Amino acid sequence: MTAIAEKVLFAKNSAHDPPQTFVVMGIDGAGKSTAINTLVQELNNEQIPARRLANAAGRRWLNNFSHNSGIQVPPLIQSLIETTFRLVNVVRNSFTAGQAPGLTVMDRHLYCQLVLRRVRGQKPGVLLPWLARKSTEHATVILLDLDPHLAFQRIEARAEDKEPLEFLQAARTEYLRLAKLHGWLVLDASVPTTQLVERLRMIAGK
């Protein structure tokens, strides 16, 4: 078989790859979006179907709004807005992930909202933890772990938002607790992006 024929056959087979879902989480500054975008680009360049789907909650926008306007959104109202937006995105993206061939990598998930609630001293409730578990039953959940001091430096360098060091420390503690509780994979996010992407590819088998 010629090299061109092999590429055509590979692309054809890739289009029928069974759906596979990664859920990637971690504190701000851990490099989630950078690693995911690099991974997806690499796979796409090799004719392997892959995509990044962001489960945003609008927290950065709300924080920037409060900072710039001086108007503080009440914590419970902010949590309600974030949870609603995050839930809508998770439902929509979960449907896409279940239908699309190849690898879908979700950037953040409902567990991120549970971490925020814990750090803010809010109760997790009953429905949100159940939805978080059910919606990740068939996904590989990966925590990108990074020292909060390094994450803080990265956030300051990008100058897009602000995160107190104490918040990052508390969030990391909660993420690690959840990872141990649910048996998530934990990867060192302090390594170069190329190494991190290589590890993700090994986990995906791609």
Per-residue pLDDT of the chain (206 residues; tens, 9 = 90+): 444 434 434 444 455 678 999 999 999 999 999 999 999 999 999 999 999 999 987 666 656 656 667 767 677 777 888 888 899 999 999 999 999 999 999 999 999 999 999 999 999 999 999 999 999 999 999 999 999 999 999 999 987 778 899 999 999 999 999 999 999 999 999 999 999 999 999 999 99
Cβ neighbour number for residue 14 with a 10 Å cutoff: 17
Domain membership flag for residue 185? yes
- pLDDT value of residue 77: 77
Domain membership flag for residue 181? yes
- pLDDT value of residue 5: 39
Q: Quote the pTM value.
A: 0.85
Instruction: Tell me the pLDDT tens digit for each residue of 9-66.
Output: 444 445 567 899 999 999 999 999 999 999 999 999 999 999 999 998 766 665 665 6
DSSP per residue over the chain, as a string? --HHHHHHHHHHHHTTPPPEEEEEE-STTS-HHHHHHHHHHHHHHTT--EEEEE---SHHHHHHHHHHH-PPPPHHHHHHHHHHHHHHHHHHHHHHHHHSSSEEEEES-HHHHHHHHHHTT----SHHHHHHHHTTTTSEEEEEE--HHHHHHHHHHHTS----HHHHHHHHHHHHHHHHHHT-EEEETTS-HHHHHHHHHHHHT-
Domain membership flag for residue 98? yes
| Domain span holding position 50 | 20-204
Domain membership flag for residue 34? yes
Domain membership flag for residue 11? no
Give CA–CA dist 51/37, Å, rounded: 8
Domain membership flag for residue 188? yes
- pLDDT value of residue 60: 67
Q: Are the C-beta atoms of 47 and 205 separated by less than 8 Å?
A: no
- pLDDT value of residue 96: 94
Domain membership flag for residue 170? yes
Domain membership flag for residue 39? yes
The CATH number assigned to the domain holding 117 equals 3.40.50.300
Give CA–CA dist 88/73, Å, rounded: 21
First to last CA, the chain: 22
Q: Are the C-beta atoms of 105 and 49 separated by less than 8 Å?
A: no
Closest-CA residue to 56 (of 161, 152, 148):
161
Total domains in the chain come to: 1
